[in-house]
A = this chain, B = another copy of it.
Amino acid sequence: MAEESSTQYAAYTLYKVDPAWLRLPIEERAAGKEAFAEIVAGWQERMDLRSYSLVGVRPEVDFMLWKLTDRYDDLRELTTDLNGTPLAGYLSTPYSYLAATKPSQYFEQKSKRPRRVVPRGAPYLVVYPFVKKREWYSLSMDERRRAMQEHAAVGSRFVTITNHTTYSFGIDDQEFMTAFECEEPADFMHLMLRLRDSEASRYTERDTPIFVGTALELRDILDSLDGAAARVQA
């Protein structure tokens, strides 16, 4: 299985702060945010690690970390470090998704090398777990390739949207982790609406929950959790 040697793991962790944290003294909150942000900053030197705000959008999460690494153990070690910060005592993770890269069955037959995920740093990242109906896998490879090519052709007309889909078969509850960078959430809404009529869309079993993350520095996100960002601006 030499072709898997350069697999990247992609993980998405969604965090929610306990409202009880908001009742702590401001100094205690500040120290907790600082320690958490420092750990993340340290790891950003070792792996591709990006933060996104969900504040004011999803009801059950506040922010998301997008992690990309060739070394599976990094996922455990990063979390272990974060567990050592005071903020961890008030954080829960309503969702966390694991996936890996591999060559597409439909578009990359020649190279056999997994396409690496390289974020371009767009202002928004839309992420959701994806499961196809089992009937899809009973179609011939030609039928599936044709459907995926139609699908990709529509996507390619939305030039400001970049697709970073990875694979979760057997290592998480979904089949794919779909991830799109875009310039404006409404752009992505138009793409998805347009794709509803496609052949491939008929074989969707589940494509939720959908997370629209706004790319922000982690310190700014943490300051928005208790309104510190707002008070500084005022």
Contacts and interface: CB of A to CB of B under 8 A. Distances in A.
A191 interface: yes
A186 interface: yes
Interface residues of A, number: 86
A122 interface: no
Interface of A: 1, 4, 7, 9, 11, 13-14, 18-20, 22-23, 53, 55-60, 72-73, 75-86, 88-96, 98, 100, 102, 126, 134-135, 137-138, 167-173, 175, 184-193, 196-197, 201-202, 204, 208-210, 212, 214, 224-231
Contacts of A91: 19
A209 B173 contact: yes
Given A57-B96, A190-B102, A84 B231 contact: yes
- Copies of this subunit: 5
A130 B4 CA distance: 27
B72 A134 contact: no
B171 A126 contact: yes
A226 B84 CA distance: 5
A98 B57 CA distance: 7
Nearest to A88: B22
Contact of A19 (B88, B201, B225): B88
Contacts of A85: 227
